[in-house]
Amino acid sequence: MAKLWDMLSPINKVNLAKVYKNLTGLDFVPPKDEDKRKIHVEAKLEAPEELERIMQQSPNYSVDVQGREG
């Protein structure tokens, strides 16, 4: 996921630094490239046949557990 800093145009980066200075009184230090997230996500989906089998199973709880009766 891109950071806000990466999406800004050069003029907006300058404006952001000015706003930061006015609000905090500190100089803005832009993030470094090595600060980017180093997360890799890999999704594994079940086969459609397995999903169909799971969806056809009846739930293992009674109606009163759902809060409809009791």
Look at residue 5 in the predicted model and tell me its pLDDT: 80
The pLDDT profile of the chain, 70 residues, written as one tens digit per residue, is: 567 888 889 999 999 999 999 999 999 988 776 656 677 788 888 899 988 988 888 877 666 656 555 4
- Whole-Å CA distances, 68 to 10, 62, 64: 58, 10, 6
Sequential DSSP letters for 3-70: -HHHHS-HHHHHHHHHHHHHHHSS---PPPGGGS--------PPPHHHHHHHHHSPPSS-GGGGTS--
pTM above 0.75, yes or no: no
Residue 1: enclosing H or E segment and its boundaries?
none
- Enumerate the domain spans of the chain: 1-31
